[in-house]
Chains A and B, each alone.
Chain A
């Protein structure tokens, strides 16, 4: 399963759930044209689940879909316990497990990526349910039921990393300011959306 396919499936089914994405999934949802209600944890690896938890607790009738990265989650593994302690029934935590950082750029290996079991970690932390998918069709068949279920649920997605693109002929380019302003802009739009829904 590729990240764009996984995010397309999530985006198609999420309805009016608040989408919190970070890193690779944020880029994928941008390509897919994902709209409000959404928030990007950027540049802030590791922040997505806790941002989502705050929204989920404040708006218990609103579903919150967090699409995390493996390296991002490793930065804040204790966050699994912070989430589980609150048992937010409206909280759905997807993890893109592709085993690489800067995926599609230089694909550096994530520590322990071949061994770590995020679903197992979430289960041990106290999530209500954990699932793991590597087959796109099986995931696609299951997602509606998952989002109709009671959280907190962890859904670990085994993803084939995109090929790296950085080379001596194609090195890093400057960031646009959007990378540093979008979280604020999106948070203000999301606050307005939440207020009126």
Chain B
């Protein structure tokens, strides 16, 4: 299938998280990232899983971990970003605490993979980047395996500037 090249392997994501010394995986699970969730659920040495009941809590748990010297990632889907805008404003922007999100583009048409999400027919997909832009939250698209290097850039930028950042997972993570 043509779209298979957009399914970046979960193992590649995991390698990138480990390379960036992620120690906590704080999440409200995401359909797009199910393969990665499954890998983490199976247990990964050095990465603790913290499931939260909503994304506000995930943002604040991440902030608490960060204050205490840890290096969490927050894994959610696009709807979750819409749901926790005020928490991003509070702890990410006002309090200048680094938050690194991986955000699944839930609802994205497979035909849109590799194309501009602004062309999606679905609001949940096409409004994500404009909303992040409106909040001055820098984001990177993860569309193909070579984009995994963006995870390194996002961590570096977030830690250097003490700002929230988002990595947009464009297609279901591969089960390999």
- A32 cross-chain contacts in B, Cβ below 8 A: none
Q: Does chain B have a CB within 8 A of A142?
A: no
Taking the closest CB of chain A, its distance from the CB of B159, in whole angstroms, is: 13
A-B contacts, 7 listed (Cβ < 8 Å): A39-B67, A44-B87, A47-B87, A183-B90, A187-B67, A191-B69, A195-B69
Residue ID in chain A nearest B68 by CB atoms: A58
Instruction: Give me 7 other A-B pairs in contact (C-beta within 8 A), A54-B61, A54-B64, A79-B53 excluded.
Output: A43-B90, A46-B56, A47-B56, A51-B61, A82-B53, A187-B97, A190-B67
Residue ID in chain A nearest B60 by CB atoms: A50
Bitwise interface map of B from 50 to 63 toward A, beta carbon under 8 Å scored 1, else 0: 11111011111111
Q: Does chain A have a CB within 8 A of B96?
A: yes
- A46 cross-chain contacts in B, Cβ below 8 A: 56
**Are A180 and B94 in contact, CB atoms less than 8 angstroms apart?**
yes
Bound form: Cα–Cα A82–B53 in Å? 6
**Are A54 and B53 in contact, CB atoms less than 8 angstroms apart?**
no
- B57 cross-chain contacts in A, Cβ below 8 A: 50, 76, 78-79, 82
**Are A187 and B95 in contact, CB atoms less than 8 angstroms apart?**
yes
Residue ID in chain A nearest B64 by CB atoms: A54
**Are A54 and B65 in contact, CB atoms less than 8 angstroms apart?**
yes
Bitwise interface map of B from 95 to 135 toward A, beta carbon under 8 Å scored 1, else 0: 11100000000000000000000000000000000000000
- B87 cross-chain contacts in A, Cβ below 8 A: 44, 47
Q: Does chain A have a CB within 8 A of B86?
A: yes
Taking the closest CB of chain B, its distance from the CB of A50, in whole angstroms, is: 3
Q: Does chain A have a CB within 8 A of B66?
A: yes
Q: Does chain A have a CB within 8 A of B149?
A: no
Taking the closest CB of chain A, its distance from the CB of B107, in whole angstroms, is: 23
Q: Does chain B have a CB within 8 A of A85?
A: yes
Q: Does chain B have a CB within 8 A of A181?
A: yes
Count of chain B residues with a beta carbon within 8 Å of a chain A beta carbon:
31
Q: Does chain A have a CB within 8 A of B70?
A: yes
Where chain B touches its partner, the secondary structure class is helix
Q: Does chain A have a CB within 8 A of B75?
A: no
- B48 cross-chain contacts in A, Cβ below 8 A: 57
**Are A58 and B90 in contact, CB atoms less than 8 angstroms apart?**
no
Residue ID in chain B nearest A59 by CB atoms: B68
Task: List A15-56 residues whose CB lies under 8 Å from chain B.
Answer: 39, 41, 43-44, 46-47, 49-56
Taking the closest CB of chain A, its distance from the CB of B45, in whole angstroms, is: 17
Which of B48, B61, B63, B94: most chain A Cβ within 10 A?
B61
**Are B65 and A57 in contact, CB atoms less than 8 angstroms apart?**
yes
Task: List A67-95 residues whose CB lies under 8 Å from chain B.
Answer: 76, 78-79, 81-82, 85-86
Q: Does chain A have a CB within 8 A of B10?
A: no
- B50 cross-chain contacts in A, Cβ below 8 A: 57, 86
Pick the contact of B54 from A39, A56, A76, A184 — CB < 8 Å?
A76
Bound form: Cα–Cα A183–B92 in Å? 11
- A49 cross-chain contacts in B, Cβ below 8 A: 60
Which of A43, A50, A52, A59: most chain B Cβ within 10 A?
A50
